[in-house]
Structure 1
Amino acid sequence: MIGVDIGTTTTKSVLFTADGKVKESHHVGYPLHTPDALTAEQKPDEIFAAVLSTIKKVVAKGKVNKEDLKVVSFSSAMHSLIAVDESGEPLTNCITWADKRAATYADKLCNQRMELYKRTGMPLHPMSPLVKIKWLKHEHPEIFEKTAKFISIKEYIFHKLFDEYIVDYSIASATGMLNLETKQWDEVALTNAEISPLQLSTIVPATHVSKGIKSELAHTLKINEDTPFVIGASDGVLSNLGLDAIDQGEIAITIGTSGAVRAVTKEPVLDKEGRTFCYAFTDDLWVVGGPINNGGMILRWAKDELAKSEAAVAERLDVNVYDLLTKMADTIPPGAGGLIFHPYLSGERAPLWDADARGSFTGLSLHHGKEHMIRAVLEGIMYNLYTVLEPLEELIGPAREIKASGGFARSEVWKQMMADIFNAEVRIPESFESSCLGAAVLGLYAIDEVESVNVVEKMVGKTTHLKPIPENVEVYKKILPVYRDIMNSMKPHYAKLAELQHGEESNPYSKNKNDA
């Protein structure tokens, strides 16, 4: 079985044996085009090529006989938007969750924020495809008028594979236009987006199976044309599944390029203040939580801007530069000498839901060096995730167990920070392939190879358990209220700071630009 995870900067395919062991994996990266502070786009065909390349590679490396491949199943990042014409050709790039150009139109809908949230479970934010569609309608009417469908990157890929427009519950939920109760397109949301249901894909369960891949693609991938392809779900909920975090009291935390805190529930759960999302997963399961913009991308920023000389040394010595950075951070005691970092370098989703949010170091003094700053960056990302967990626990009760995944888990220092800041035992699987495993297990369930997705508990493999260190917990208990107070006190200033930073907005679809 193959699990394919279409991520923000990388697509990965993992070939699993029937018992969940990784046999082969391959990933292909692609750029996130950010020509200015607001734009964050990708080229759809680069991602489609990455999907084909990674599947082809694991099939070849695994020496898979066509008849032995049971299923190919998909995980995907959420909130992407591509406008396509009648022939399926893109009229825009893939506008990602990180794109903030629609912020003004989120503001214009603020008087309907809670009504839309109660109907769809999606907090109002520029990442929402609903808001992006409204932005396209009013700022780029020449594109809007030519658009036949508004789709996500996974819908684009399935259309390229099968010539059909379908979308699963969780990706549809992430558009801000799916009614949580009916699991159909919501009339009020579509009225606000100024589109009809015909301009969106057909909604299907996460277990929907497509067969009959185009013959030339089957030949390229070296697979049978009737190989089952399962639509799957979002990377978030499938990471929960791949971590075996689907029961009451189990919280999944992921830190990749961005990050998220999530729990699976048996009914929709909404926050009275609209601080958390609630997305449909299956007919009887929902995922509740909060995403952050600023995960591993902030550590990359710290590498590029705070540790250029160390990065050069790491390159010469052929060592992992991030290992070097976390070792630098480990030379500083917990609390970073009273230096606190708020990681809002790319605006923020949960807990602020404010595209104008900006990052800051607070408490800088002459005795602080770059090691303090790097430690503060790592701690700040964890503090931010903790502020996302708090409203989630208010809704569903205290976390019984935290299960974590993502690139951060390669760092012993960062993993221990999570246990200490959250003051909880953290379980981390040795395999980093949680979203791919979740997709593969869902695929097996979809084709009736297993009776329940709970078989994943036998497939997760070995896990590392980290317990909080009491003296570190006491340090962080003193810092967290200060972090939260500074966060709240800065809220009124973010819009003015953002205004000072914004130059003339980039306009890649402008009619006035010269034709490429």
Structure 2
Amino acid sequence: MNKKYLLGIDVGTYESKGVLCDADGKILNIQTSPHLVKMPKPGWAEHDPMGDWWADFCSITKGLLKNTGINPRNIAAIGCSAISTALVPVDKNCNPLRNAILYGIDIRSVPQIKKLNSIIGEKRIKEICGNPLTVDSSGPKILWIKQNEPEIYEKAAHFTMTQGFLVARLTGEYILDKYSASGAGPMYNRGMGTWDDSLTAYITEKERLPRIVDSTEIVGFVTADAAKETGLAEGTPVVGGSTDASAEAVSVGVVESGDFMIMYGSTVYMIKVTNEPQQNSNVWNATYVFPELSSLVGGMATTGSLTRWVRDNFAKELVEKEQSCGSNAYTALFAEIENIDPGSDGVIVLPYFSGERLPINDPGAKGIIFGLNLTHTRGHIFKAVLEGVGYGIDQCLELFRKAGDPINQITAVGGGTKSLGWMQIISDITGCVQSIPETTVGAAYGDAIFAGLGAGLIKSRKDIKEWIKERYVTVPDVRKYEIYRGYKERYAQIYSSTKDIMHSY
């Protein structure tokens, strides 16, 4: 009997990743492919669906198969994920008609949000969809295309969202999982688990929207054309998949009510698994990837990408040294902050460099570096950026606490967890213990788990917990936690005092 394998592929903001593993969760090979975010105008953020997403997918699958020597016919199922609420209009042959409009770092749909709120009513939207409209919502993005690119809108046979584009290229089936659909306001009726006829009519025809599915449901099979492009076997089952954040949560065992994850990537994303929806919550509600569970979710707009901004603009010589000698620029920056006290000697950064999602839901917010004097150094700015993200996370956690049970321990994942110093700063600010798993392959591993559940090779989500081992725990320093209290208050005051100025230009 031939051994069976599972394939998972994720498209992130700056990188795509693929994982090939066996039915026991053992990882056989990992492949990555970088890509860039295109920002053609201020407030816009886009990817090239074919040049970034599909090209990455094809090169990764071929690389995985080549490196392992596995017969593609022995792959039992495939799972995909992608950055949440990314929107791609396609023609009848699944050819993209424009670049993908990305998640909440793209704020072009603010006028459409205001218009929909005024026509439909914010209360009605939240009652039906479970969430208010934000720049993450898919409906306003479609409406933006309809109003600003009518020729593209008219040609669009389908509006694909998140991983739906990849699944459509693989199988010819247009789908969206229930977790991702929770971000498709105001079109998605969360209580019914279907598109809402009355609200969808404000945006587009329901026939252009994908079929709603479960993340672990087999939704189609690899076509002959896709097999030629990817090296996969024709007829291989493909499951529904989900967004990168939910797939990453599953990859580290966040699968039961009460589990809480923070994903430290280009942005920060948080998921708390619950038994029931929290209708009066100020954070987003979403049916979880396991439909018998619910979740509270939310994200900040600019976090890891802000540390990259500091590195690239304030530490160019370190980047050049990294390129020539291999020394890590971030390691050098962290060395510069070792002797800087909590609070960065009065420097406070508001990380609103792409507006902000949670905790303030203000796409017009602006980034601020506050409190500089001539004694401050590059290190002060870098540490203040790390702390500013921590202050924002602390405000987000307070919203999660108000919506449900206390949060005492967090599973931390993503590229940011490579810096234990940053994780310690976050714990000192929030007062929360953070557990960092031994293996944090990321969302692609969660996609492989979705595939395993769909193919029946993984019997229960509880089995996933047994695969997770703890690598490191950050415990709050009580003394530093008390010091940070005052800085958290100042952080909040700076935003409230400058909000009107931010919106005046």
| TM-score w.r.t. length of structure 2 | 0.93
- Contact in 2 for aligned 1:281/1:287 (Cα 8 Å): no
- TM-superposed CA distance for 1:485, in Å, is 2.4
**Among residues 99, 103, 106, which one is paired with 1:99 in the alignment?**
106
Give how far 1:393 is off: 1.0
Does 1:308 find its partner at 2:308?
no
Root mean square deviation of aligned Cα: 1.9
Tell me: CA distance 1:153–1:253, structure 2 relative to 1, closer, same or farther (3 Å): closer
The answer on whether the counterparts of 1:11 and 1:29 sit within 8 Å (CA) in structure 2 is yes
Counterpart of 1:352 (choices 360, 366, 382) is: 360
Per-residue CA deviation, residues 363-419 of structure 1 (Å, 9 max, x unaligned), is 222221111010001111121112111111111111142000011111121121122
Which of 201, 205, 230 is the matching residue for 1:191?
201
- Of 31, 36, 39, the residue aligned with 2:36 is 31
Whether 1:57 aligns to 2:63 is: yes
**Out of 444, 454, 458, which is 1:450 matched to?**
458
Q: Aligned to 1:70, what secondary structure does the other structure show? A: strand
Q: Deviations over 1:225-260 (max 9, x none)?
A: 232221211112222212222333321001101111
Aligned residue number for residue 238 of structure 2: 229
Q: Secondary structure of 1:375's match?
A: helix
Q: 1:109 is paired with a residue of what secondary structure?
A: helix
- Paired residues, number: 495
Q: How far off is 1:279 after superposition?
A: 4.3
Spell out, residue by residue over 1:408-433, the C-alpha distance to the aligned partner (whole angstroms, 9 max, x if none): 11112112112211212110012222
**Structure 1 residues 88 and 419: alpha-carbon distance in aligned structure 2, compared to 1, 3 A threshold:** same
2:394 aligned residue: 386
1:386-465 counterparts in 2 under 5 A? 386-465=394-473
Identity of aligned residues (%): 28
Give SS of 2:397's match: helix
Closer, same or farther: CA 303–86 of 1 in aligned 2, 3 Å = same
Distance (whole Å) between structure 2 residues aligned to residue 447 and residue 242 of structure 1: 17
Between the aligned partners of 1:126 and 1:334, the Cα distance in structure 2 is 33
Q: Secondary structure at the residue paired with 2:221?
A: coil
Conserved in 2, the CA contact under 8 Å of 1:94 and 1:153?
A: no
**Do structure 1's residue 238 and structure 2's residue 250 form an aligned pair?**
no
Residue 80 of structure 1, aligned match among 72, 76, 86: 86
Provide the residue aligned with 1:7 in structure 2.
Answer: 12
Mapped contact 2:283–2:296 kept (Cα < 8 A)? no
The answer for the alignment partner of 2:497 in structure 1 is 489
Q: Partners in 1 of 2:261 and 2:170 — Cα distance?
A: 32
Partner residue, 1:511 = none
Match of residue 468, structure 1, among 454, 464, 476:
476
Letter paired with 1:174: G
Aligned partners of 1:230, 1:434: CA distance in 2, in Å?
18
Conserved in 2, the CA contact under 8 Å of 1:270 and 1:276?
A: no
Amino acid at match of 1:4: I
Displacement of 1:298 in angstroms is 0.4
Q: 1:249 to 1:168 in 2, by over 3 A?
A: closer
Q: What residue is the counterpart of 1:180 in the other structure?
A: 190
Aligned with 1:71: secondary structure? strand
Q: What is the match of residue 270 of structure 1? A: 279
Cα distance in 2, alignment partners of residues 258 and 203 from structure 1: 27
1:459-500 CA-partner distances (Å, limit 9, x unpaired): 12342112112222121122112212222333333221xx3x
Query: CA shift at 1:153, angstroms?
Result: 4.5
* Partners of 1:357 and 1:27 in 2: CA distance: 33
1:43 aligns with 2:48: yes
| 2:211 paired residue among 202, 217, 222 | 202
Instruction: Give yes or no for the alignment of 1:141 onto 2:155.
Output: no
8 A contact 1:330–1:375 mirrored in 2: no
Mapped to 2, the partners of 1:279 and 1:304 lie a distance apart of 38
Deviation, 1:121, is: 2.8
For structure 1, the 5+ residue unaligned runs are 500-516
1:504 matched to which residue of 2? none
SS in 2 for 1:145: helix
Query: Residues 11 and 84 (structure 1 numbering): CA distance in 2 closer, same or farther, change over 3 Å?
Result: same
Paired amino acid for 2:96:
P
Residue in 1 aligned with 2:338? 330
Deviation per residue, 1:26-55 (Å, 9 max, x gap): 111122111221221111112111011112
The equivalent residue for 1:283 is 291
> Deviation of residue 278 (structure 1)?
3.1
Structure-1 separation of matches of 2:153 and 2:224? 33
Q: Please say which of residues 163-172 and 483-492 is displaced more in the overlay.
A: 483-492
Q: Counterparts of 1:276 and 1:492 in 2: how far apart (Å)?
A: 26
CA–CA distance in structure 2, aligned partners of residues 212 and 363 of structure 1: 57
Distance in 1 between residues matched to 2:450 and 2:173, nearest whole Å: 21
Q: Distance in 1 between matches of 2:294 and 2:242?
A: 12
Aligned to 1:256: 265
Amino acid at match of 1:134: L
- Which of 217, 222, 231 pairs up with 2:226? 217
- Amino acid paired to 2:492: R
Distance 1:221 1:150, change over 3 A: closer
Which one is further off, 238-247 or 422-431? 238-247
